[in-house]
Structure 1
Amino acid sequence: MSDPVRTLLTALLTATLLISTVLMAACADDVVAPVQGVGGDAPVLLEQVTYSLNAVSSEGALPQGLSGEVVFQELDASRMLVTVAIDDTVDTPLIHPVHIHENDADTGGPIAFFLGALDNNARGAARSVHVIEKSLDSLLTFDGHVNIHESNATRDTLLAQGDIGANDNASPTLFQLNRVAEPRHAAYPLQAVPNSSTQAPEGFEGTVRFEELTPSQTLVQVQVDGGSPATGGAHPVHLREGAAGEHADDSAPEVVIAYLGAIDGAPESLGTSWTVVNRSYDELLDADAHVRIHLNNEALGTSVSAGDIGANAVPM
């Protein structure tokens, strides 16, 4: 969008922003995009575009498939936040890989981008987020579609898909991102945890990074050192109470502060996940907490990586 057009739209929308903000607050459960909110000392208007994801029936674990939406939001001139949200949660420990594929859905094509895997065990989260270092304008002309797969082991089984970019006629709309004027960043190391599994017996090292997004939201990235752990599975990631050494075998859900994005262990993935956590940056950096990567949802007592954060560690 050109600067004159953005300026004009900003002027036209100023009078309605207070009303729309109230509506968004009143209908928070209906808002897919996670970075709309109230407050902040540097609110800006950015573009977003939404596409439908249609259920695909199969003979797999979820025969009716899943339906939902994928929302692409500008974070800045060179980054998009991609939110995948399904309409209903399902009772399964599976973690569903999500990809942007080339070509339209009917034609099919290779993976162009890995998106955030959907962790159904994340207590009804029913969504995932991912950051792509591309502009929103580049997406609008991209010949592609989004697929939600059953699992990495059954990638040929689709649960949902939908066309995006050049293959759909969706138009961008504006949203208000209430970012702070000077976002702060912090990073903490994750140490490998040796274990008795055959997939990742030595565990793997990594880093968790916190980026101040809005006054009440923090963007969290978990990155495995060297890229994908190449386990062929998918690994739940939790922000948990207490220090890592005190809770090594604790898989109880009541000590989970936030379910972070799962790590996709497909060999060709980037070994990274993203999450928008509805807690302020200061709250997270003061928290008595740690980050733990688990083997899978059926073996939450088996850790492959862990590291202290907040009050329990000094940032890198």
Structure 2
Amino acid sequence: MNRNLLAFLMIIPFFFISCSDDDGYSNPEPPEITELNSKIYTLGTVGDFGVSGTAKFIENSDATLSIELDLQNTPAGGIHPAHIHFNTAVETGGIALTLEDVNGDTGKSTTIFTTLNDGTDITYLELLDFDGYINVHLSATELSTIVAQGDIGQNELTGETISYDLNERDVPGINGTVVFAKRVNQTTLVSINLTGTPAGGRHPAHIHENDIATTGNIIVGLNPVIGDSGISKTQVEALVGGAAVTYTELLTINAYINVHLSNADLDTIVAQGNIGSNAGTDPGGAESKTYDVTNSGASAYIFNGEGLSDSNNPDFTFKRGGTYTFNVTVPGHPFYINSVRGTGTANTYNSGVTNNGAVSGTITFTVPTDAPDTLYYNCEFHSSMTGMITIID
């Protein structure tokens, strides 16, 4: 064979290899996927499991989305199913997206997706505006037991809240608060929390128009207060009849809240309070204060509590309907509430007073609506141990 031809044939493979390298026909490494944007939502604990954590929503550079769950206090060895549901956690709703199970050993899971369970495409911005919430369950066989939960997207709570007192009414010992919490979409989570509700009870609750004194029709139905926990949670976005109402509008609404004994006894109100523009005008929001009373020889009563510190014979201003408790330890100096300043027992004022004249124990004074504008406290024996009580509405 011609020596030149042989050399040419030997060069040909190198030529093609060189062309392949130069022209990019090799198999390069795929580009690295990076995080473009992200947002973190809080997952709060549910029940007594103590599990809580976060859900991180991620927009990836390859046009996919990721959700990373990161939970604390998950039991080792556990596998916890998780889902995004439609609506708020209070309303509940069907599953929109199944997430990867949370590994109990690490408390973590990562789900990569571009569509919901039904095949609907979803973008990162649409995910941030989604009407939904996340549930994390105890196990695949105990899906009814939720260990962590959180509202997401437009249902996220902003942290802005306002609280109103719900005062005792027809049933002694039941009272509490109602908290209005603002969501990103301007709707409101209304949470009632009462103490003293009987176990097993269910107490209907409503927002009524006008104030307590005027009374009015129901304008928002609330979920009943569960007696075992004293809690009710309701998603509020519209009034009775369908008119939309925002969190901001609820702050100035002319309304009050009633919590009733039961569906069979709506006439018995267990807790009640003015809200919105009527806040602070509840006639049942009676003042309640407690004082510890000792003495300095025969010269003075010494008061502590409610802002007083070793105060000698202070004057007081009490409100009609209020309850004032005196824990007295004054041996030899009987403590009396009187209609006239002075010693003795001829002018004792006993309306609404329990244990008047005690030297040890508790004296309670619930001020009647017809109490005089001025009363006094006195030692039965020593005129220097005295002070004025001004009564106001």
Structure with greater Cα Rg = 2
TM class by smaller structure: 0.3 to 0.5
User: Which structure ranks higher in relative contact order (CA pairs < 8 Å, sequence separation ≥ 6)?
Assistant: 1
Higher-helix-fraction structure: 1
Q: What TM-score do the two structures reach when normalised by structure 1?
A: 0.44
